[in-house]
């Protein structure tokens, strides 16, 4: 058996240096990372990278920052659930992680231009959507009305609290938020995210809806969006799947004939509406 180095291997990693690590909630931590050697991660909102801690393994993580961020660094929001994510959570500023990518098809931002946006996010769905939201704010003039509907289990689970407070105060955004379970000090909506949709004032023909959240959310949210007469092609979703390669080979992310890692993770409703394995 012979062995040689493979410089063009897609499994080669870039070294990412953690510039800043911030515990956001009990389970989520935000990492600001820059590539060692000064290279810039060339990504679009909605794309993901493969992040690794050697010895623990490698996992897909969506990018939470916007490519319009001038500093050249990028941000990843990681929820500690398994072996790799728990290893990542032990990392602090100055530590190094492995980065591959970016991978996948992001949100069709150029097609969004000149249209209104209805962004619907639940739970950890804010992680990839923050990339889109920040991108839109940095290019705010290119878009029409922007609605953001945000849902989470309870106020203590809310991610990016400071930023969301700022979004809610912007005059160029229609923002609403709801929690499934309130606490006494909570003054906002209580109820499922679907309850916010009927009241949104949109012109369906020129509105693109973007939905990211836990699998159970899609069915009900999409139903409400269709009830608002938004065409299926203008409803975008992003799916979480188990992934090992990011290259359309390992088979873990397959949704019937589609691969979330290469054909997605962003799909429009028309592409996936007949797929039983989609959500």
Partner 1 sequence: MKDLQYVVLGKEQFDEFISRLSKLQKVVAPVSKGYKNFSFEEVTSGNSVSLKYIPTILPPKKFFMPQRETLLEFDTSKGLNAEAVVEYEKMTIFGVHTCDLAGIQCLNMVFSEHPRDYNYMMRKRKINIIGLECNEYCDEFASCALVNASLPSGGYDLFFTDLGDEYIVHINTQNGEDMIKSANFFRAAGKSDLEELTELRKKKRVLFRNEVPVEPRYIPELFDRSYKSRVWDDLDERCLACGNCTNVCPTCYCFDIRDEMAMDLKSGKRYRVWDSCQLETFAKIAGGENFRKERSLRQKHRYYRKFRYPVDRFSRFFCTGCGRCSRTCMAGIRLKETLNGLIKEFENTVSTSMEGNY
Q: Where are the beta strands (DSSP E) in 44-195?
A: 48-53, 57-62, 74-79, 96-103, 116-122, 146-152, 174-179, 189-190
Residue 38 touching partner 1 (CB under 8 A): no
Residue 21 touching partner 1 (CB under 8 A): no
- The residues, any chain, with a CB within 8 Å of residue 78's CB and separated by 6 or more, are 28, 29, 30, 31, 51, 61, 85, 88, 89
- Pick from 110, 141, 187, 257: which binds partner 1 (CB under 8 A)? 257
Residue 11 touching partner 1 (CB under 8 A): yes
User: Angle at the Cα of 232 (from 227 to 150), degrees rounded to 5?
Assistant: 65
Residue 249 touching partner 1 (CB under 8 A): yes
Buried-exposed string 93-116: b where 16+ CB fall within 10 A, e elsewhere: eeeebbbbbbbbbbbbbeebeebb
Residue 5 or 70 with smaller CB distance to partner 1: 5
Residue 145 or 241 with smaller CB distance to partner 1: 241
Candidates 5-13, 40-48, 158-166, 198-206: pick the segment binding partner 1 (CB under 8 A). Answer: 5-13
Candidates 52-60, 132-140, 162-170, 182-190: pick the segment binding partner 1 (CB under 8 A). Answer: 52-60
Closest contact distance (angstroms) between CB of 81 and partner 1 is 5
Residue 268 touching partner 1 (CB under 8 A): no
Closest contact distance (angstroms) between CB of 60 and partner 1 is 9
The two structure tokens encoding residue 163: 């930023």
d(CA 97, CA 266): 25
Closest contact distance (angstroms) between CB of 161 and partner 1 is 22
- Pick from 20, 192, 250, 268: which binds partner 1 (CB under 8 A)? 250
Per-residue CA distances from 62 to 23, 224, 261 (Å): 17, 26, 11
Residue 277 touching partner 1 (CB under 8 A): yes
Residue 245 touching partner 1 (CB under 8 A): yes
Binding to partner 1 by CB under 8 A, coded x per residue (else -) over 115-144, reads ---------x--------------------
d(CA 43, CA 134): 14
- Report the Cα–Cα distance between both ends of the chain, in Å, rounded: 44
Instruction: Count other C-beta atoms under 10 Å from residue 186's C-beta.
Output: 14
Candidates 26-34, 40-48, 51-59, 110-118: pick the segment binding partner 1 (CB under 8 A). Answer: 51-59
The two structure tokens encoding residue 223: 């139903």
**Residues forming the site for partner 1 (CB under 8 A):** 1-13, 15, 52, 54-59, 79, 81-82, 85, 96-98, 124, 214-215, 240-242, 244-245, 247-252, 254-257, 262, 276-277
């Amino acid at each position: 058996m012979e062995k040689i180095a493979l410089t063009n291997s897609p499994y080669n990693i870039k070294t990412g240096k953690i510039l800043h690590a911030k515990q956001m909630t009990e389970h989520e931590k935000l990492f600001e990372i820059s590539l060692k050697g000064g290279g810039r991660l060339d990504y679009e909102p909605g794309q993901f990278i493969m992040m690794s801690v050697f010895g623990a393994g490698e996992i897909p993580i969506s990018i939470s920052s916007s490519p319009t961020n001038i500093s050249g660094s990028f941000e990843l929001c990681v929820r500690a659930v398994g072996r790799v994510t728990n290893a990542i959570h032990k990392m602090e500023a100055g530590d190094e992680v492995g980065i591959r990518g970016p991978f996948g098809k992001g949100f069709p931002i150029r097609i969004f231009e000149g249209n209104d946006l209805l962004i619907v996010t639940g739970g950890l769905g804010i992680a990839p959507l923050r990339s889109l939201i920040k991108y839109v704010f940095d290019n705010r003039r290119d878009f029409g009305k922007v609605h953001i509907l945000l849902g989470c289990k309870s106020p203590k689970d809310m991610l990016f609290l400071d930023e969301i407070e700022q979004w809610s105060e912007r005059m160029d955004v229609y923002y609403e938020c709801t929690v499934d379970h309130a606490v006494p000090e909570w003054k906002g909506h209580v109820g499922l995210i679907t309850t916010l949709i009927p009241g949104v004032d949109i012109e369906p023909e020129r509105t693109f809806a973007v939905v990211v959240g836990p699998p159970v959310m899609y069915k009900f949210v999409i139903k409400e969006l269709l009830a608002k007469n938004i065409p299926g092609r203008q409803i975008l979703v992003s799916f979480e799947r188990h992934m090992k390669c990011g290259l359309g080979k390992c088979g873990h992310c397959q949704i019937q004939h589609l691969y979330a890692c290469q054909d997605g993770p962003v799909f429009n409703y028309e592409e996936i509406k007949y797929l039983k394995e989609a959500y």
